[in-house]
Structure 1
Amino acid sequence: MIEKLLAEQDGVVTTAQALTAGLTPEAIEWRVHTGRWRRTSRGVFFAVDRPFTDDARIRCAAWSTSAGALSGPAAAYWHRMLPRAPETIEVTVPRTRSGRGITGVRLRRRDLPNVDVVIVRRVLVTRTPLTVLEASTVLGPEVMDRALQKTMTLDHLRRAHARNPGRRGYVRAEQLLRAAEGGARSEAERLFRRIMRSAHITGLRVNLPYAGYVLDFAFPHARVCVEIDGWAFHSDSAAFHRDRIRQNVLSREWTVLRYTWRDLVERPDEVAAEVRRFVTG
């Protein structure tokens, strides 16, 4: 029975699980003493006759805490939203829990609503809406965008956001939600204007009509226009086709620069330098 359990749990087992499977405390210690098992933290063991995979590493991290739930990018990986596991595993534990995390584990102390946690493959993890919010604030809006292209809805995200105020990354998540709800246009206009003002780049026109289209931003004197790529979940194949036609029409008369909302947030100085180069060149 213990071998079946190890096979199902990536070679990781807890003391409580081993005892339930029929082992005695002496049998557990014998396995550790003879090198068959490695103790990764108090009450958590790994059977060394198999590879120590990312899944095994995450199980060890999650089970090293009492009542802790995988969160952030680690939770996104556990939900199979990400192809690779993060180097540091984040675990959210109740505020009342004492102790420190093991090497490679970052503890977050916060009380999670019951509705926002779930057991996945025997590991407690934040549910997908909260996971998407928290992972997006670390890894960028692509995480949220991919989720919204599938079964996630903005209502799911908004509800999870409202249930968890004051958490790390809350303000950033609010920005991402506002951008997603508005297709990023209103947020992009505000951010891009601020970037241009800070860089003292003048001559900007907003929402300039041209050839039956409306340009997001334009510098008519330099024939440079700036297009902001919105969120993919708002698009479909027809919208993608229309966008390609629009690009071809504009490029006949304009130099077209394209930026994502993430570009404006995370690398504004680079955006300003590139715009300046084309506008003044």
Structure 2
Amino acid sequence: MQSDQDKPRVRLWRRAARQRGYFTAAQALEDGYSYQSQYFHVHRGNWIRVDRGVYRFREFTDLPAGEEDHLVRWALWSQGLAVVSHATALGVHDLGIANPTKIHLTVPPGFRRRNQAVALHTDELPVDQIEEREGFRVTRPVRAVAETAADGADQDVIDSAVTELLDRGVATKNQLLRAAQQAGPRAELAVERALRAEHA
């Protein structure tokens, strides 16, 4: 006799609970839902289709939305390959005044998916520059500042992020400068300006 623990809904619910209610068609298939049964649950309104091959349990849509819920959706959209980065990562870390109009994601070379809501950056990120969050990954604060500066963000965005990062004692000036130098001349100049503004 099948125990409750072995039932597809229990397995998928546990998985989705770690992903703020989101899951992919492939994950549902792994947990015992055929494509036919997936169609049934979407048609009945049990699952909400949020993108091609990405769903969410209806119950989670009734809960107050978390500020980062949508980032889990994009992590699943990328099949787990994307890392939240640049100005979007600054927002995750609550650094400064960044308010990007698109979701910034860093993806490995060869990534093919596209969406108008997303700004994609191609890079192979070192593991030590990535943080794990609930349902998605994000670049660490120092990296986020440097890559945002390299991307040509307004100077006041960089200034505010650098100020908050230093005020919290999360990073040193040398760490910021090194990261900016690695990101390129534009990043180095913007971070140097932000550090000078700190002393002004």
TM, length-normalised to structure 1: 0.54
Matching residue's letter, 2:34: P
Name the structure with the higher strand share: 1
Matching residue's letter, 1:75: A
Matching residue's letter, 2:55: F
Q: Given the superposition, is the C-alpha separation of residues 133 and 17 from structure 1 closer, same or farther in structure 2, using an over 3 Å criterion?
A: same
Residue 89 (1) aligns with residue 103 (2): yes
Identity of aligned residues (%): 25
Match of 1:118 in 2: 131
Query: Highest CA radius of gyration, 1 or 2?
Result: 1
Instruction: Work out which structure has the larger RCO, using CA pairs closer than 8 Å and 6 or more positions apart in sequence.
Output: 2
Aligned length: 179
Matching residue's letter, 1:152: A
Q: Given the superposition, is the C-alpha separation of residues 80 and 8 from structure 1 closer, same or farther in structure 2, using an over 3 Å criterion?
A: farther
Match of 1:140 in 2: 158
Q: Does the CA-based 8 Å contact 1:40-1:46 persist in structure 2?
A: yes
Q: Which whole-Å CA distance do the structure 1 matches of 2:28 and 2:99 have between them?
A: 27
Q: Which whole-Å CA distance do the structure 2 matches of 1:85 and 1:18 have between them?
A: 34
Q: Given the superposition, is the C-alpha separation of residues 140 and 176 from structure 1 closer, same or farther in structure 2, using an over 3 Å criterion?
A: same
Structure 1 unaligned residues grouped into runs of 5+: 185-229, 235-259, 261-281
List per-residue Cα deviations over 1:143-164 (Å, max 9, x = no partner): 1111111111122223333444
TM-align CA RMSD: 2.9
Q: Does the CA-based 8 Å contact 1:73-1:85 persist in structure 2?
A: yes
Q: Which whole-Å CA distance do the structure 1 matches of 2:99 and 2:127 have between them?
A: 25
Which secondary structure state, in structure 2, belongs to the residue aligned with residue 140 of structure 1?
helix
Which secondary structure state, in structure 2, belongs to the residue aligned with residue 28 of structure 1?
helix
TM, length-normalised to structure 2: 0.72
Shift of 1:113: 3.1
Match of 1:205 in 2: none
Residue 153 (1) aligns with residue 163 (2): no
1:17-36 residue pairs with structure 2 within 5 A? 17-19=27-29, 22-26=31-35, 27-36=37-46
Residue 10 (1) aligns with residue 29 (2): no
Structure 2 unaligned residues grouped into runs of 5+: 1-9
Q: Given the superposition, is the C-alpha separation of residues 14 and 141 from structure 1 closer, same or farther in structure 2, using an over 3 Å criterion?
A: same
Q: Given the superposition, is the C-alpha separation of residues 125 and 11 from structure 1 closer, same or farther in structure 2, using an over 3 Å criterion?
A: same
Shift of 1:58: 1.8
Q: Given the superposition, is the C-alpha separation of residues 153 and 61 from structure 1 closer, same or farther in structure 2, using an over 3 Å criterion?
A: same
Residue 79 (1) aligns with residue 93 (2): yes
Q: Which whole-Å CA distance do the structure 2 matches of 1:18 and 1:155 have between them?
A: 46
Residue 56 (1) aligns with residue 66 (2): no
Q: Which whole-Å CA distance do the structure 1 matches of 2:144 and 2:98 have between them?
A: 15
Which secondary structure state, in structure 1, belongs to the residue aligned with residue 110 of structure 2?
coil
Residue 98 (1) aligns with residue 112 (2): yes
